[in-house]
Amino acid sequence: MSIAKKIAESSCRSSWIREMFEEGAKLSQIHGCDNVFDFSIGNPNLEPPEEFQRILEELVADRTPGRHGYMSNAGYPETRVAVAAYLSEDQGVDLTGSHVVMTVGAGGALNVILKAVLDPGDEVIVPVPYFVEYASYIDNHGGSLRPVGCTADFDLDLEAIEAAIGPQTKAVLINSPHNPTGRVYTAEMLGALGDLLRRKSEEQGCIIYLISDEPYRRIVYDGLKVPAVMAAYENSLIASSYSKELSLSGERIGYAAANPAIPHINAMMDALIMTNRILGFVNAPALMQRAIARLQGVSVDISPYQRNRDVLYQALTEAGFEVYKPQGAFYMFPKAPIADDVAFCREAQQHLVLVVPGSGFGAPGYFRMAYCVAPQVVDGAIPALKQMGAKYFKK
Ligand SMILES: Cc1ncc(COP(=O)(O)O)c(C=O)c1O
């Protein structure tokens, strides 16, 4: 058997979420599903909205010839126009369909963007903690991930970003609402980041792109609205998807959008369309493109996530855990009570609570809980959280 060394290594590194998920499946067989509390994976437990089901049924019944054939690599024009119209309003910047490429999820969009902008040896600055796949996505296209610290409450640390910028910097990659912390960056913070990248791009004589990974954009709590990255910085690109907001993660539908103010925007769009093709995606799934064209602005009812966030946050803090209250997404990232986060996750597993070590996100000493689960899972885990809290925090 001969497997590329890099792939063999990275499958060891990035397997925490999957490993915990598999453990959960095994434990469920032994103890019964109702007795295992699995917070390992960010797979939405809510069903897609009823409207999606209705539209899908209509689309499936449509026998117009050519519905299942190849199309332009960028996607159906009407889908791109619908996404652009939504984004124009959301971002406060005028986009047309020509600024959007439909992709195979946000993961596909990130790969399309990174392949379009990276030369070998380029660096992409990423605040820690981060979604584990970023390292592989950047490496896929010859770049390297340059991790930078964040503030104690998981906000961007602009000084750290500035210190990391050098001639090798091609982009800064941010994610808001954030996996794994639930942090949402403010408009002021994005504006300040935009100012920094503008100044540094000028100093260095080449553009530093801001890539914003936003699959959780519509999953925010307490009436918050996620500020617009395109309004904050002209050289910005968005990678997003309907995986989380419409609970369509298995359908693999998303998009890459570029700020019309990017110099040579037409060349950028040509590059994104080409990378979508040559990465082997060819185009995003046809049926889903036709569905989401009619579902702009629709999302699942997130009140069950909000309920889980509130109950879990209260339980963790009452048990003594230090944890940032998430403003969006469906993850919580508490500090582990011992330095060895992997050992702590193993201990939680003994209590049949499946959580993922912060090491899997570049941040040892923490653990992640994905609360896109049934309310019984949250409620059922509370006694174990209290027990662990009593062991470590109560004198
Ligand atoms: C931060 C982040 N970015 C991107 C993705 C990939 O999303 P998609 O399923 O749309 O490819 C995920 C999935 O969990 C994620 O958490």
Quick: pLDDT tens for 146-183. Answer: 999 999 999 999 999 999 999 999 999 999 999 999 99
Query: Is the C-beta atom of 326 inside 6 A of ligand 1?
Result: no
- Alpha-carbon span 203 to 186, nearest angstrom: 26
Asked if residue 354 has pLDDT above 60, the reply is yes
Is-contact 39 354, C-beta < 8 A?
Answer: yes
CA 51, 248, 216: angle at the middle one, nearest 5?
100
What local confidence, expressed as pLDDT, does residue 15 receive?
65
Mean pLDDT for the stretch of residues 217-227: 97
The distance of Cα 328 from the centroid of its chain, to the nearest Å, equals 11
- Alpha-carbon span 44 to 106, nearest angstrom: 15
Amino acid at 110: L
Distances (CA, A) of 153 to 149, 223, 323, 324: 11, 20, 9, 7
Asked if residue 82 has pLDDT above 80, the reply is yes
Query: Is the C-beta atom of 241 inside 6 A of ligand 1?
Result: yes
State whether residue 246 is helix, strand or coil. coil
- Alpha-carbon span 219 to 217, nearest angstrom: 6
DSSP conformational letter for 391:
H
What local confidence, expressed as pLDDT, does residue 27 receive?
86
Nearest to 274 by CA among 75, 111, 69, 74: 74
**What sign has the CA pseudo-torsion 337, 146, 126, 247?**
negative
DSSP conformational letter for 107:
H
Asked if residue 122 has pLDDT above 90, the reply is yes
Is-contact 109 256, C-beta < 8 A?
Answer: yes
- Give bridge partners of residue 328 from the DSSP assignment: 220
DSSP H stretches of helix in the chain? 5-13, 16-31, 50-61, 77-91, 105-117, 133-140, 158-164, 187-204, 229-232, 265-278, 286-292, 303-319, 341-350, 375-393
Contacts of 10 (CB under 8 A, 6+ apart): 135, 136, 139
Q: In the block, which residue shows the tokens 């996505």?
A: 137
Nearest to 218 by CA among 259, 180, 247: 247
CA 229, 108, 84: angle at the middle one, nearest 5?
45
Percentage above 90 pLDDT, the chain: 91
Q: Residue 254: enclosing H or E segment and its boundaries?
A: strand 254-258
pLDDT-derived band at 23 (thresholds 50, 70, 90) equals confident
Mean pLDDT for the stretch of residues 66-95: 97
Q: For ligand 1, what atom is nearest to the CA of residue 249?
A: 9
Quick: pLDDT tens for 136-152. Answer: 999 999 999 999 999 99
Asked if residue 17 has pLDDT above 90, the reply is no
- Alpha-carbon span 139 to 241, nearest angstrom: 22
Number of other residues whose CB lies within 10 A of the CB of residue 171: 25
State whether residue 334 is helix, strand or coil. coil
> 177: cis peptide before it, omega within 30°?
yes
State whether residue 256 is helix, strand or coil. strand
Asked if residue 207 has pLDDT above 70, the reply is yes
pLDDT-derived band at 9 (thresholds 50, 70, 90) equals confident
Mean pLDDT for the stretch of residues 254-267: 98
Is-contact 183 324, C-beta < 8 A?
Answer: yes
The reply to whether the predicted model has a pTM over 0.95 is yes
- The phi, psi pair for 119, rounded to 5°, reads -105, 160
pLDDT-derived band at 326 (thresholds 50, 70, 90) equals very high
Query: Is the C-beta atom of 243 inside 6 A of ligand 1?
Result: yes
- Alpha-carbon span 333 to 381, nearest angstrom: 16
pLDDT-derived band at 395 (thresholds 50, 70, 90) equals low
Distance 205 CA to ligand 1 centre (A): 32
Number of alpha helices (DSSP H) and beta strands (DSSP E) in the chain: 14, 12
Query: Is the C-beta atom of 240 inside 6 A of ligand 1?
Result: no
Residue nearest to atom 7 of ligand 1 (CA): 106
Distance 107 CA to ligand 1 centre (A): 6
Query: Is the C-beta atom of 20 inside 6 A of ligand 1?
Result: no
Query: Is the C-beta atom of 106 inside 6 A of ligand 1?
Result: yes
Instruction: Domains for the chain: give ranges and CATH numbers.
Output: 5-48+300-393 (3.90.1150.10), 69-292 (3.40.640.10)
Query: Is the C-beta atom of 214 inside 6 A of ligand 1?
Result: no
What local confidence, expressed as pLDDT, does residue 106 receive?
98
Mean pLDDT for the stretch of residues 116-132: 97
State the chain's mean pLDDT as an integer.
Answer: 96
Task: Report the half-sphere exposure of 53 (CA within 13 A, side-chain side).
Answer: 5
pLDDT-derived band at 24 (thresholds 50, 70, 90) equals confident
Distance 141 CA to ligand 1 centre (A): 18
Distance 389 CA to ligand 1 centre (A): 31
Question: Hey, what's the torsion of the CAs at 137, 188, 298, 374, to 10 degrees?
Answer: 70
Asked if residue 302 has pLDDT above 70, the reply is yes
Query: Is the C-beta atom of 75 inside 6 A of ligand 1?
Result: no
State whether residue 125 is helix, strand or coil. strand
Asked if residue 1 has pLDDT above 70, the reply is no
Number of other residues whose CB lies within 10 A of the CB of residue 266: 9
Q: Exposed, middle or buried, 301 (CB in 10 Å: 0-12/13-18/19+)? A: exposed
Query: Is the C-beta atom of 38 inside 6 A of ligand 1?
Result: no
Write out the two tokens for 296.
């702009």
